[in-house]
Amino acid sequence: MNILMVGEQHLGHSIKSIKHGLQLCGHAVDNVYTRKLLRAGGLPLVRDTITTRDYSPYDIVMLWNPRKDLNAEMVAFISQRIPVIWYTNDAIPHKINDTERERRAMARLCAGGIYPSSTQVAIAEGHGQVAALAYPPFDLWPWRYPESTVKVADVMFMANTCYIRKEWPHMQWERRELARALIDSGVDFKAAGHWDENPRGWGTEYGGIDREHYYGFIPHDNLPGILRNTPIHINNHPCCTLKHYTNYRMVLTMCTGGFVLTDKPAGLDTVLRDGEHVVYYASPGDLVEKVVYYLAHERERLEVALRGQKRMLRLSSCAAFAQKVEKIAQKIGGQA
């Protein structure tokens, strides 16, 4: 197939991963970042990119985690000419605003879809879309990442935003609750990711964490070494009612060999077994108890991390993701 991927700049690593996987499977792939495309010329350039008169050089267009950069007019134009696969790694927000309504309308214009939970797949199939469950693709490219001895802390909680239950009522525990329990326990703990740079990040609006326990933002290329060398990683999902859902941060941590303590979205323990691939916590107090236990039992912790790494690499390899794309493409009319 000849495939065009259109996606956001901040997902560059994921886009490169799936591009690599598709190329390994023998496909030709071009990618363009949405904002660059729109800044350069908007809808006329979209038309010129996907068509030459009445002919398109592409068999499939993949819209990669589209947000505010695309609009329904563009998606409708593309989908009327070429089979389109919609991909998102986002959970379903509880609050439905105008932006989310537009996003859902755009998704329904696409013949195919790839989602991070079985719940979202079922919703898409209900609208007539050919859909599949796939976790965010991961491609380590080990030669790009020299061995690192950096250790942020014994326990790290990396997150993009400090979600609160008012906005995400299906959270099991707010991230600031978990952070406060770990700080109060006295373990060597740091939070990483966006904080004061993000209007809804750690601490700015909701007082999520103090500066002493904030490590800062970690550039993507520095992550693998830090993830490998930090003993315990905390994960938290904004929506635990989505069946089989997991987020990109958990995929990234497990694929690089990190040990993960996480809350449990519905049915996830049938995919990642408790104590075998990851360890689930049931409350902030349970989280602290398990942190203390696994800090004291290194061998057991490393065995879980290794089994988890092998399992997640099978689930979310770039080649496995590419095979999902191939199957959907065949069903919606792309030439695989």
CATH number of the domain within which 116 lies? 3.40.50.2000
pLDDT in tens, 264-273: 999 999 999 9
**pLDDT attached to residue 300:** 98
Structural domain total, the chain? 2
Q: How confident is the model at residue 68 (pLDDT cuts 50, 70, 90)?
A: low
Residues 12, 121, single domain; the answer is yes
Q: With 0.95 as the threshold, say if the pTM is over it.
A: no
* Highest-pLDDT range among 12-26, 43-57, 84-98, 152-166: 152-166
Residues 164, 54, single domain; the answer is no
303-317 exposure pattern, b = at least 16 Cβ within 10 A, e = fewer: ebbebbbebbbebbb
**pLDDT attached to residue 37:** 56
Residues 147, 255, single domain; the answer is yes
Residues 240, 287, single domain; the answer is yes
Q: What is the mean pLDDT of the chain?
A: 81
In the predicted structure, residue 42 carries a pLDDT above the cut 70: no
Torsion of CA 221, 224, 229, 235, to 10 degrees: 110
Residues 119, 220, single domain; the answer is no
- Paired with 63 in beta bridges are 6, 86
The pLDDT of 114-118, averaged and rounded, is 93
The pLDDT of 46-55, averaged and rounded, is 59
Residues 291, 149, single domain; the answer is yes
The pLDDT of 272-283, averaged and rounded, is 97
**pLDDT attached to residue 94:** 65
Residues 14, 150, single domain; the answer is no
Q: In what order do the strands lie in the sheet containing 155-159?
A: 214-216, 189-193, 155-159, 232-235, 260-262, 279-280
- Paired with 214 in beta bridges are 191
Among 93-102, 114-123, 311-320, which is the least confidently predicted range? Answer: 93-102
| Residue located via tokens 């988890």 | 308
pLDDT in tens, 123-142: 999 999 999 999 887 765 54
Residues 194, 64, single domain; the answer is no
Pairwise CA distance, residues 229 & 289, whole Å: 21
For Cα atoms 109, 69, 5, give the angle at the middle one, nearest 5 degrees.
Answer: 65
Q: What range does the domain containing 218 cover?
A: 142-316
Residues 248, 297, single domain; the answer is yes
130 membership: H or E segment, kind and range: strand 130-133
Residues 205, 253, single domain; the answer is yes
Q: How confident is the model at residue 305 (pLDDT cuts 50, 70, 90)?
A: very high
Residues 163, 284, single domain; the answer is yes
Q: How confident is the model at residue 275 (pLDDT cuts 50, 70, 90)?
A: very high
Question: Of 295, 286, 140, nearest to 221 (Cα)?
Answer: 140
Answer whether 224's CB lies under 8 Å from 249's CB. no
**321 or 164: which leads in pLDDT:** 321
**pLDDT attached to residue 175:** 85
Q: Residue 327 in 3-state DSSP?
A: helix
Residues 236, 312, single domain; the answer is yes
